[in-house]
Amino acid sequence: MLRMKNLITLAGAAASAVVLGLGAAPAKAQDFINILTGGTSGVYYPLGVALGEIYAEGIAGSRTQVQATKASVENLNLLAKGRGELAFALGDSVLAARDGNAEAGFPAPLTNLRALAAIYPNYVQIVAEAASGVNSVTDLKGKSISVGAPASGTELNARAIFRAAGISYEDASRVEYLPFGESAELIKNRQLEVTLQSAGLGVASIKDLSTTHDITVVGIPAEIVEKIGAPFVPAVIPAGTYTGQTADVPTAAVGNILVTSDAVSEATVYQMTRLLFENVDRLIAAHGAARAIDATKAVQGLPIPLHPGAERYYREIGVLK
């Protein structure tokens, strides 16, 4: 049974890492797999930890590390610099990285990124303290809101939603750029009214908040989502996702992608892809968002090329002809 060996704090990067291994012979450089995730209260991190354990067990001679980060934008920049082998990222962030969108945090196109798999959708979840009176997106005017870490995938989603709704950050009374867990804690302490979190359904920070406070899950109408356009699509947060949420809530969804780089070998990426789909049950145990992981849909809507190792796996199972 694998055990977590050590927790490394990366100074100046607000990141932590879990290193896992089998105690076998020293791994080759190519067999060191650093998995770039997100904040520890989000969905990326527990899925990344599960993948780290799966890869440490299933890829002979490998050593895996799971790094908590500010998520999509930071992950893609680290990956492009060779400081990771696998990263979780939102589809719109991957598109911005491909195109070199400076406003989104990519001063130049990141041409060495390669896709491993489309995995599950992120739902833009706007949650307000019930007493705040926020029941619609336009009600955000004059309220205090946290929109995620600066230039993170969540914050890019927030910008897109605000623009499409015809409002701006200036319309809020205060805008904070905080991780999910910290945002929820501020709402609990009545120091913040609203948090916008882009994550899989059932994100831990909102679940925890909903068990102790009356909340309103704020709808994002389909017309706003359609105004943004691809890769955003209209979606629904089902009733009962959070304590006290008695009705379905319309929102926006955007797909998550596991991204690697062209510097990682075909053999390693093939194994990472194979083990991902052969262990979906373990990923579901780590977080329910993994229920949406499906090999037959894993090559759909990718804004960057597949890595040859991933392509080999999809051809092997008949997803690609």
> What whole-number distance in Å separates Cα of residue 321 and Cα of residue 317?
9
Show the tokens assigned to 163: 């623009």
Beta strand residue intervals within 231-311, DSSP E:
233-237, 249-261
Number of H helices and number of E strands within the chain? 10, 12
**Residue 17: its pLDDT value, please?**
59
Distance of CA 4 to CAs 44, 50, 145, 161, Å? 18, 11, 35, 39
> What whole-number distance in Å separates Cα of residue 314 and Cα of residue 299?
8
**Residue 150: its pLDDT value, please?**
84
Write down how long the chain is: 321
**Omega prior to 109 cis, within 30 of 0:** no
Given a contact cutoff of 8 angstroms between Cβ atoms, the answer to whether 203 and 197 are in contact is yes
Q: Please list, residue by residue across 64-101, b when 16 or more beta carbons sit within 10 angstroms of its beta carbon and e when fewer do.
A: bbbbbbbbbbbbbbbbbeeebbbbbbbbbbbbbbbeeb
**Residue 152: its pLDDT value, please?**
85
Q: Which residues of the chain have pLDDT under 70?
A: 1-30
Burial of residue 206 (CB within 10 Å: 0-12, 13-18, 19+) is buried
The full set of domains in the chain, from first to last, is: 6-119+257-316 (3.40.190.10), 122-254 (3.40.190.10)
Show the tokens assigned to 62: 């490998």
